[in-house]
């Protein structure tokens, strides 16, 4: 549905997008995650036609749109600061597009009635924008963006101005509406949780290019590089050196007396300075060394405990290494007390390996 080939865009000689390419399938929800200023909005503005790329092509349904003006592209957009017309009611705000195109008033009314029902705004059709909550105005913006039945909807952090609980509800609603309308979504955000919960596929934009494209679970569980791993959630990082290769992965020494087996796809030659990564919630804690196979076990002292309702986070000072964080589901950690000797357990397959960053090679 969307194909972008070799897109480049600079501002004042500073490259923002560099030879950027991406394909998004029909009806797919694709989320682009990136930190502030990485070029997310610039990309959407190029696709929508507000910005002219320096190089590259944009195709929608196989048709090149580079030379089409904004209003001729089959695209709807919702931006972070959507502007509803303050002196128009909800109904009239949604009707703006079809009225400009000269559609019959009865047809417009039928379309808006259906949209108001889907967006749960029927009771607010005569309300004014200043009478709406943040979530309601965002739903009006959505109805307004999709009334022309665009093939593609571009969403630029549309939920970021809302508070956390509302954001979560609206995310679920957005997914339902996207399925109901059958529209292809390209959603950009700097919020990793939002990205993962919305996406069929996602990617991270950094330095004007994509780091890894895939399903959220794939990026989270099998990050292609350390930047993706760190961007998508908490990680423990233990510096070490590759000692030997084993059938199930690389054996890494962290300290003369501590070895771990890392089972990710990334393997490095013996002697390479590496970082072992594992996520706090993929680790477990035990008060005695367990016997299950396929696990790394590291001994330490439980230093700190914080209860979060659904889970508890522990800080464990390793006997032969730094402190690590372990997150355990509530109810399965009975009996663990600060000061105790414990064993941190991480499955070999959840123990990932990345080459140490330049400049930190002597960390271990």
Ligand X SMILES: Nc1ncnc2c1ncn2[C@@H]1O[C@H](COP(=O)(O)OP(=O)(O)OP(=O)(O)O)[C@@H](O)[C@H]1O
Q: Which residues contact ligand X by CB under 6 A? A: 11, 16, 34, 36-42, 190
Q: How far is the CB of 40 from ligand X (least distance, A)?
A: 4
Q: How far is the CB of 97 from ligand X (least distance, A)?
A: 25
Closest CA to 211 of 198, 229, 193: 229
Q: Please identify, using beta-carbon distances, which residue of 20 and 314 lies nearer to ligand X.
A: 20
Q: How far is the CB of 23 from ligand X (least distance, A)?
A: 21
Instruction: Scan for tokens 């965002």, then name that residue.
Output: 138
Q: Please identify, using beta-carbon distances, which residue of 38 and 124 lies nearer to ligand X.
A: 38
Q: How far is the CB of 156 from ligand X (least distance, A)?
A: 7
Q: Please identify, using beta-carbon distances, which residue of 157 and 350 lies nearer to ligand X.
A: 157
Q: Provide the pairing of β-strand 184-189 with 29-33.
A: parallel
Distance in angstroms (rounded) separating the CA atoms of residues 103 and 89: 19
Q: How far is the CB of 42 from ligand X (least distance, A)?
A: 3
Q: How far is the CB of 182 from ligand X (least distance, A)?
A: 27
Q: How far is the CB of 239 from ligand X (least distance, A)?
A: 31
Q: Please identify, using beta-carbon distances, which residue of 15 and 214 lies nearer to ligand X.
A: 15
Q: The sheet that has 258-262: what strands, in order across it?
A: 258-262, 249-255, 236-246, 273-278, 352-355
Q: Please identify, using beta-carbon distances, which residue of 38 and 116 lies nearer to ligand X.
A: 38
- Give the number of C-alpha atoms closer than 13 A to the C-alpha of residue 241, restricted to the C-beta side: 11
Q: Please identify, using beta-carbon distances, which residue of 66 and 80 lies nearer to ligand X.
A: 80
Backbone angles phi, psi at 157, to 5 degrees: 45, 50
Q: How far is the CB of 41 from ligand X (least distance, A)?
A: 3
Q: Please identify, using beta-carbon distances, which residue of 34 and 239 lies nearer to ligand X.
A: 34
Backbone angles phi, psi at 349, to 5 degrees: -70, -20
Angle between helices 134-146 and 164-181 (to 10 degrees): 20
Q: How far is the CB of 11 from ligand X (least distance, A)?
A: 3
Q: Please identify, using beta-carbon distances, which residue of 11 and 307 lies nearer to ligand X.
A: 11
Closest CA to 251 of 351, 357, 364: 351
- Give the number of C-alpha atoms closer than 13 A to the C-alpha of residue 202, restricted to the C-beta side: 29
Q: Please identify, using beta-carbon distances, which residue of 7 and 124 lies nearer to ligand X.
A: 7
């Amino acid at each position: 549905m969307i194909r972008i080939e070799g897109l480049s865009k600079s501002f004042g000689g500073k490259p923002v997008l560099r030879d950027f390419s991406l394909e998004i399938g029909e009806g797919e929800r694709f989320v682009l995650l990136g930190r502030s200023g990485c070029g997310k909005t610039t990309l959407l503005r190029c696709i929508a036609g507000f910005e002219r790329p320096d190089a590259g092509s944009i195709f929608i349904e196989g048709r090149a749109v580079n030379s089409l003006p904004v209003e001729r592209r089959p695209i709807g957009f919702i931006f972070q600061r959507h502007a509803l017309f303050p002196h128009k009611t909800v109904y009239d705000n949604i009707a703006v597009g079809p009225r400009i195109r000269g559609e019959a008033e009865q047809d417009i009314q039928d379309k808006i009635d259906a949209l108001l029902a889907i967006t749960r705004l029927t009771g607010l059709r005569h309300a004014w924008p200043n009478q709406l909550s943040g979530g309601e105005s965002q739903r009006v913006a959505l109805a307004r963006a999709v009334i022309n039945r665009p093939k593609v909807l571009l969403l630029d952090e549309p939920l970021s101005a809302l508070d956390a609980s509302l954001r979560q509800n609206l995310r679920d609603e957005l997914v339902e509406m996207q399925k109901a309308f059958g529209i292809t979504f390209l959603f950009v955000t700097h919020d990793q949780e939002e990205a993962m919960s919305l996406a069929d596929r996602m990617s991270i934009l950094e330095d004007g290019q994509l780091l890894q494209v895939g399903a959220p679970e794939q990026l989270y569980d099998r990050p292609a590089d350390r930047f993706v791993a760190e961007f998508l959630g908490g990680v423990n990082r233990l510096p070490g050196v590759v000692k030997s290769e084993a059938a199930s992965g690389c054996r890494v020494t962290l300290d003369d007396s501590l070895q771990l087996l890392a089972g990710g796809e990334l393997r490095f030659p013996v002697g390479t300075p590496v970082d072992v990564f594992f996520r706090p919630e993929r680790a477990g804690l035990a008060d005695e060394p367990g016997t299950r196979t396929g696990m790394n076990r590291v001994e330490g002292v439980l230093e700190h405990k914080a209860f979060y309702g659904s889970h508890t986070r522990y800080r464990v000072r390793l006997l032969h290494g730094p402190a690590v964080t372990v997150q355990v589901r509530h109810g399965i950690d009975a009996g663990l007390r600060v000061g105790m000797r414990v064993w941190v357990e991480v499955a070999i397959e959840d123990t990932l390996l990345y080459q140490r960053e330049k400049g930190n090679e002597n960390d271990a």
